[in-house]
Amino acid sequence: MDTGISKLQEKVKAYKEVLQNTKNYRMQWQSKTKGFIIKQLLGVIEHTGLKAKVTEKSTIENLESVVLDLGRTSSGIGESFENTDFKNFMVKNNGALIYQQFIQWQDHGYAGEPAY
């Protein structure tokens, strides 16, 4: 008579594997992945002349990100204030490319030449 113990043991084993993988990915992000992404993005900026900056967001532990920020500019749209010469111009976000830590990243041997 199967009491379900073997199924429970399989689920516990799978859970432990997922937990260990999570720990491994977090260590890899700190030791390799984050630096690799930053290096690649800086290389893209340098070789293309793209007006952008690379920033790190690390306010939430184990949910960090690397951002290629294309900046902000005036949208050219302005709201006039009644009975004044003042205008409130809207700001346009030019976009960003975000790499977040929680995404599972596999090492495919890209550590050599840049990807661009």
| Contacts for 107 with CB less than 8 Å, ≥ 6 apart | 28, 32, 33
- What's the pLDDT score for residue 111? 46
Residues 65, 67, 57, 92, CA torsion sign: negative
- What's the pLDDT score for residue 114? 46
In contact, 99 and 65? CB cutoff 8 Å: yes
- What's the pLDDT score for residue 35? 95
- What's the pLDDT score for residue 1? 53
In contact, 43 and 110? CB cutoff 8 Å: no
**Consecutive 10-residue averages of pLDDT for the chain (116 residues):** 82 92 90 94 95 94 92 85 85 90 54 46
Q: Where are the domains of the chain?
A: 9-100
